Structure 1
């Protein structure tokens, strides 16, 4: 097979970063990219690429992704989805996008696979698959019991990826992502019905770091003031965008034989931080006056969803596969984002 990679959700922030990372990866020389999303993605410079605006819930449009001038991809990154709060608020849309479209992409991958070869199918899942009573430290054997529609959808699709792998239809790799901080972008508009959770740990809007570093006020939906005890008790499993995308690329190169024989699920390495840790790092990097731009208005729904996600993991297994972890906690991440703001990259 040629070195052709299909990325769905490629117009999203992480999908765009992945396209650039694959272009620069020495293990994927002359990579050719098929980039698809509900809005047409932008291809990185220097790549042979096809960009496609596609409804990934439509069978004909998904099949067309495997019939471009670049031919059949050897790797599929399945990164599209309706995120946390959006899945909770619009159950039917969440089912359609987070389960039905993934199954359609899996089945199309199966049908389009050349004889005697397996296409790598890398599925980006979430820590939202966890819920209920959890051990203090999550291990690979911890059972996933989601407490939200987003986690339920991700777990359902994980089971499909595992089953298609067990049957020899694909070479599946399932990545449970930490919450990725800090993402760039303009101040968010009023959230549409399909918006992600608008919280301090939301993958869609890390507002309590991003906006203050741009000199803008923002609202933290956890606690009612800087003295609120919830800031110390609510923690999350985090990773920087640079490390996350590096791990996406690594996932392509892990030998199939290295995974556990019974599952292709891997939670990616990260670190634990509370809302207080975020704010303390912001103060160390930018000063108290910047922290004062954060206002507080507690959102019980947001807090319930985020609180159900685990915050500590045993990372021996993912590290053994070659995945990497951030060093130094929140402060270097905030410092890097401040530099990105100052240099016009945010």
Structure 2
């Protein structure tokens, strides 16, 4: 086995973490990486890698990713995309990046995939594919009806990956991600960015804006979200590569990765336990109806039974251990 892995969106935070996790993965010995993004990614030290600055909306540049000195990858991680608020504010760009470029990458993977050893195509989707009236708990049978451009784009690409898998063109694996908390770095264009921001900035001694509610006493702070830590998410990205194809449901390659439910108030209470009232005082409130509408349309509770049966893992202990870990990362200068 060649163990050549292509990651698009590799310059992003998750792409970088995934690259390092694959290098450390004992089930992927001697891994070689093809890392591509709109800015040139950085490769982990001590690994054979090709890093490429590429416009992933250009089909010729996508095809070039399969013609590097490392050869044709046996696994493709499709991580690139325009985030939720960015897709909502720039509809045309969202279509171009979240659908058209994914289709071009999928089609190129199909053309390069050996018939007797299909390339694994691992696509990162989102709980934003859901909307409208929903059951109390989401199961694999719950129909996805997005209420935002980001969710629509993700669902469209999911359907393509499913169809290419059904036809035997690729070995698709679709991961619907919970909202990941705490994300390091600067705030992103994601509608859910505040979910990390109200922890990240205060732990750095900075003010953060919460677009849900107008004060600490607002009932809007009871808004629940479906969450997972970065560490658990990356573990599940690697696990997705190793799940035998026959273990997935016959009619779909979609897996809602395991998570847990926490409200905005739960987050702030965990922040207070870890860093005190002075940290919570750095969170300012300005209700944003558009943001609140989009986030409120996403389901906050899922049945973890199916993904756990496939070997995926879940966070234990709720928000407090996650906040404590991020506090340690800040102190160590790695967040």
Would you call these one fold, judging by a TM-score over 0.5?
Answer: yes
The match for 1:324 among 309, 313, 329 is 313
d(CA) in 2 for partners of 1:200, 1:61: 34
User: Which structure 2 residue ranges, 5 or more long, are not aligned?
Assistant: none
Residue in 2 that maps onto 1:212: 202
Residue in 2 that maps onto 1:257: 246
Residue in 1 that maps onto 2:301: 312
Partner-residue secondary structure (3-state), 1:173: strand
Answering whether residue 171 of structure 2 is matched by residue 171 of structure 1, we say yes
Q: CA deviation at 1:198?
A: 5.9
Q: CA deviation at 1:196?
A: 2.3
**Distance 1:344-1:199 versus aligned 2 partners, 3 A rule:** closer
Partner-residue secondary structure (3-state), 1:26: coil
State the TM-score, normalizing by the size of structure 1: 0.95
The match for 2:215 among 225, 248, 265 is 225
Answering whether residue 234 of structure 2 is matched by residue 240 of structure 1, we say no
Partner-residue secondary structure (3-state), 2:194: coil
Q: CA deviation at 1:200?
A: 2.6
> Is residue 41–residue 51 contact of structure 1 (8 Å, CA) maintained in 2?
yes
Runs of 4+ in 1 over 4 A off after TM superposition: none
**Distance 1:317-1:161 versus aligned 2 partners, 3 A rule:** same
d(CA) in 1 for partners of 2:115, 2:303: 39
Residue in 2 that maps onto 1:196: 190
d(CA) in 2 for partners of 1:198, 1:269: 18
User: Which structure 1 residue ranges, 5 or more long, are not aligned?
Assistant: none
d(CA) in 2 for partners of 1:27, 1:77: 16
> Is residue 126–residue 175 contact of structure 1 (8 Å, CA) maintained in 2?
yes
> Is residue 179–residue 192 contact of structure 2 (8 Å, CA) maintained in 1?
no
Q: CA deviation at 1:199?
A: 4.3
Alignment of 1:286-297 (within 5 A): 286-297=275-286
d(CA) in 1 for partners of 2:296, 2:287: 13
Q: Count the aligned residue pairs.
A: 335
Residue in 2 that maps onto 1:138: 138
> Is residue 11–residue 37 contact of structure 2 (8 Å, CA) maintained in 1?
yes
Q: CA deviation at 1:185?
A: 1.3
CA deviation map 1:97-120 (0-9, x unaligned): 000000000000011113422000
Answering whether residue 272 of structure 2 is matched by residue 278 of structure 1, we say no
**Distance 1:122-1:271 versus aligned 2 partners, 3 A rule:** same
Partner-residue secondary structure (3-state), 1:317: helix
Answering whether residue 331 of structure 2 is matched by residue 342 of structure 1, we say yes
d(CA) in 2 for partners of 1:5, 1:317: 26
Alignment of 1:39-54 (within 5 A): 39-54=39-54
Partner-residue secondary structure (3-state), 1:200: helix
> Is residue 199–residue 222 contact of structure 1 (8 Å, CA) maintained in 2?
no
> Is residue 199–residue 221 contact of structure 1 (8 Å, CA) maintained in 2?
no
d(CA) in 2 for partners of 1:316, 1:259: 13
State the TM-score, normalizing by the size of structure 2: 0.99
d(CA) in 2 for partners of 1:2, 1:343: 36
Answering whether residue 15 of structure 2 is matched by residue 15 of structure 1, we say yes
Partner-residue secondary structure (3-state), 2:142: coil
> Is residue 17–residue 234 contact of structure 2 (8 Å, CA) maintained in 1?
yes
CA deviation map 1:221-244 (0-9, x unaligned): 110001000001x11000000000
d(CA) in 2 for partners of 1:284, 1:33: 41
